[in-house]
Amino acid sequence: MEELSVKKEGILLVNKPSGYTSHDIVEIVRKKLKIRKVGHAGTLDPLAEGLLVILVGRYTKLFQKFSSLDKEYLGTMKLGETTTTGDSEGRIIKTRPFEDISEEKIKEVFFSFCGEIEQIPPMMSAKRIGGKRLYKLARRGIIIERPPKKVKIYEIKILNIQKPFVDFYVRCSKGTYIRKLVEDIGEKLGCGAHVTKIKRIAIGPFRLESAISLEDIDYSHLKDFSL
- The C-alpha atoms of residue 159 and residue 76 are separated, in whole angstroms, by 10
- The C-alpha atoms of residue 98 and residue 191 are separated, in whole angstroms, by 6
Options 45, 70, 87, 224, the catalytic residue: 45
Amino acid occupying residue 158? I
158 forms beta bridges with 168
Length of the chain equals 227
218 is catalytic: no
Strand, helix or coil for residue 223 = strand
Cβ burial of 205 (10 Å; 0-12, 13-18, 19+) is exposed
Strand, helix or coil for residue 101 = coil
Strand, helix or coil for residue 43 = coil
Please report which helix (H) or strand (E) contains residue 26, including its range.
Answer: helix 22-33
Query: DSSP of 87-150, one letter per residue?
Result: BTTSPEEEE---TT--HHHHHHHHHTT-EEEEEPPPSSS--EETTEEHHHHHHTT-------EE
Please report which helix (H) or strand (E) contains residue 50, including its range.
Answer: strand 49-56
Catalytic amino acids? 45
